[in-house]
Amino acid sequence: MTTIKHRFMRTNGIQLHIAEAGQGPLVLLLHGWPESSYAWRHQLAALAAAGYHAVAPDVRGYGQSDKPAPVEAYRMSVLLDDFTGLLDALGEKSAVVVGHDWGATMAWTCAALRPERFRAVVGLGVPHLGRAPIPPTQLFRSMFGERWFYVLYFQEPGVAEAEFEADVPKTMRAILGGDALDPTAAAHRAKRPGDGLLTGIDVPASLPPWLTEDDFAHDTRELEASGFRGGLNRYRNMDRDWEELPELATARIEQPALFIVGERDPGRSLAPIDSMKALVPNLQEVQVVPGAGHWVQQERPAEVNAAILGFLRALPA
């Protein structure tokens, strides 16, 4: 049985907690919101067994990693320095980067702006969209008008944190097992200004079949200890990233790339896959996992592991 090891590493002036397994070429796994390195538990073992060194950090602000206070400490340019610094600390010149949710956006950006360090990229759930024509919050307001949208709700520091941290198990049941993040859901469309993410949401009494009680307890404990602020600060830097990284408008990802998405991922209604093909000319495959939702690598680990390993084995030596 593969042993997943844990340690802390210094990078870019902070300390990151990493989970790792195996030896061989480096594969860096970046989680999304509101998760941690634990989201990759199924992939760490599979990658190690296949002859890779799999490393999953708790991204700054999450889990056991450092959580700087300033909102701007979570902008994308700083995160890129975290990850390239982590490669340096591991003694590696390059890695394949794999990301899910916000981690996918980080992974695509790593590949686009640091191609000398990231030789291939896998995105899960969120395609590479480059740079919006206007700042993202303006774009969302133009799309949703007066309708409620969770990304806009997350912008005011302290508001979402207070809601989520009042009852972390309830919050996580609604996010992981319900439709709290689905903008097409009736409960989402019925929200009004001043409502919270959980307003009007039916919180499922039972967990989804892919999430055990032990897994859920682990996720809940981590968020009760860390709070939600660090992760939410990523959303609060979207406009700052737009200002700071104009090169994303034209930067092409020339490295080999793979995109995996759940068939039932609600994000598909917001982020059309076809629009990324011009910016990712070496996109090897788009794999839609039948019946899966947003948490695809946890919901369908066998299918996701097979896709990632097939992609890795086909890379140039």
CATH number of the domain within which 103 lies? 3.40.50.1820
Contact 270, 77 (CB under 8 A): no
Report the phi/psi class of residue 68: left, alpha or beta, with left for phi > 0 and alpha for psi in -120 to 50: beta
* Beta-sheet strand order (sheet of 5-11): 5-11, 14-21, 53-57, 26-30, 95-100, 118-124, 257-262, 283-289
Question: Catalytic: 17?
Answer: no
Maximum C-alpha span of the chain: 54
Instruction: Tell me the Cα Rg of the chain.
Output: 18
Q: How far is 175 from 167, CA to CA, in rounded Å? A: 12
Residue 220: give the domain boundaries: 5-313
pLDDT score, position 179: 84
Nearest partner of 76 among 34, 149, 131, 8, judged by Cα: 131
pLDDT score, position 49: 97
pLDDT score, position 184: 85
Q: Please report the DSSP string for 19-57 in residue order.
A: EEE--SSEEEEE--TT--GGGGHHHHHHHHHTT-EEEEE
pLDDT score, position 182: 87
pLDDT score, position 229: 98
pLDDT score, position 5: 97
Q: Indicate yes or no: pTM above 0.95.
A: yes
Contact 49, 22 (CB under 8 A): yes
Q: Pairing state of beta strands 5-11 and 257-262?
A: unpaired
pLDDT score, position 101: 97
Catalytic one of 82, 101, 219, 265? 101
Q: How far is 188 from 201, CA to CA, in rounded Å? A: 8
Contact 101, 231 (CB under 8 A): no
Number of domains in the chain: 1
Environment class of residue 1 by beta-carbon count within 10 Å: exposed (0-12), middle (13-18) or buried (19+)?
Answer: exposed
Contact 130, 249 (CB under 8 A): yes
pLDDT score, position 109: 98
Contact 122, 99 (CB under 8 A): yes
Q: How far is 111 from 249, CA to CA, in rounded Å? A: 14
Question: Catalytic: 101?
Answer: yes
> Low-confidence residues of the chain, pLDDT below 50?
none
pLDDT score, position 115: 98
Contact 111, 97 (CB under 8 A): yes
